[in-house]
Amino acid sequence: MPPGAPLLEVEGLSVSFATAGGRLRAVDGVSFSLTQGRRVGLVGESGSGKSVTAQALMGLLDAPGVQVEGELRLGGERLTATDERRWRTLRGNKVAMVFQDPAAALNPRMRVGEQVTEGLLVHQGLGRAERRRRAVELLTRVGLPDAGVRVDAWPHELSGGMRQRVCIAMALACGPQLLIADEPTTALDVTVQAQVMALLARLQAETGMAVLLISHDLGLVAEWCDEVMVMYAGQLVERGPAARVLTRPRHPYTAGLLASLPLPGERRERLVEIPGMVPDMRAPPSGCRFNPRCPRADERCRAEAPAWSEEAEGGHRCHLPLSEGT
Ligand code: SF4
């Protein structure tokens, strides 16, 4: 791959599901690219389409009734219409994922060491002794205490934080270029959350892989990532450098997410929630999808869907973007 070339390119990604009440378009025309070594956050409320986007990037949506459209390229390889056989090679080797709930992600009937190196057996055909040695090495690398002993533990014998470290070791086993971390700390205690994010930061710096961090927590994403993408009702509504998005959001939805956050070093009398709910994606509102909840909405917002506007520091999808001080 030429230096500086995007590692991941996503163009017009749309995902829809057949439901009893009609076709549900969970992701609608999402485009972005991601460069090696970057940490990019994808943020939005539950139901905004973040996790479905991640599943599409892992080739996990090959099921009856699911339609995936658009272009995906990883390391220059076109993944549109890639078959499951090829995806099995790519998963783990080039792109790996850490899930929200480590208890659900691990097989309760396999010792953790075997799970960590399952990918090495599949992709590299390593023998038993070599796999055990690599498992201890990987578990040490992710900071699992007494890795030489715990390599033989069952998942239920470990704490939630330890299980997430095992999942991270599994994801890193084959040296992926892209790690997708989908709400990796949501199921953990606050102190353990900080440790897991520090671990991911260290591993990202050591390996140079790109990380796509998916979270409902804009504070975490803005603090941890170089760049932030904000998703609402299946669409990207804002993108930009984290420092800019956190201090000078352009989209009213991003501003609403920020207003609902306690920010470090800032005293707020009251946190303000965004009124209303994420729309039913079988029948999204006409015009701008955020208009029923937006304090700035006018007639044009209700009638005409805003197109993506590219700017010097990112971009947004809004007819009436915020400027500094508004
Ligand atoms: Fe609000 Fe209008 Fe912008 Fe939509 S287009 S976010 S309704 S101001």
Ligand 1 cavity residues, CB under 6 Å: 251-252, 288, 290-291, 294, 296-297, 301, 306, 318-320
Alpha carbons 169 and 137: distance in angstroms, whole number: 9
Q: Please identify, by atom number, the ligand 1 atom nearest to the C-alpha of residue 291.
A: 7
CA dist 191 → 99, 195, 197, 295 (Å): 19, 7, 10, 36
For the chain, the average pLDDT equals: 90
Average pLDDT per block of 10 residues along the chain, 326 residues long: 81 94 92 94 93 93 92 90 85 89 90 87 74 92 93 95 92 92 86 89 93 90 92 97 93 93 63 85 94 97 97 94 75
CA-based nearest residue to 295, from 271, 262, 317, 273: 273
> What pLDDT shows up at residue 1?
66
> What pLDDT shows up at residue 3?
63
Q: What is the pTM of this model?
A: 0.91
> What pLDDT shows up at residue 48?
93
Alpha carbons 302 and 50: distance in angstroms, whole number: 24
| Ligand 1 centre distance from Cα of residue 288 (Å) | 6
| Ligand 1 centre distance from Cα of residue 314 (Å) | 17
**What are 133-174's pLDDT values in tens digits?**
999 999 999 999 999 999 999 999 999 999 999 999 999 988
> What pLDDT shows up at residue 266?
60
> What pLDDT shows up at residue 264?
59
Alpha carbons 326 and 318: distance in angstroms, whole number: 14
Task: Tell me which CATH code domain 7-261+289-316 carries.
Answer: 3.40.50.300
Kindly give the residue spans of alpha helices, DSSP state H, lying in 94-157.
102-105, 112-116, 118-124, 128-141, 147-150
Residue 241: phi, psi to the nearest 5? -60, 140
> What pLDDT shows up at residue 2?
64
Structural domain spans, the chain: 7-261+289-316
**What are 267-294's pLDDT values in tens digits?**
556 667 888 888 988 889 999 999 999 9
> What pLDDT shows up at residue 224?
92
Q: How far is the first Cα of the chain from the last one, in angstroms, to the nearest whole number? A: 43
> What pLDDT shows up at residue 54?
94
> What pLDDT shows up at residue 97?
93
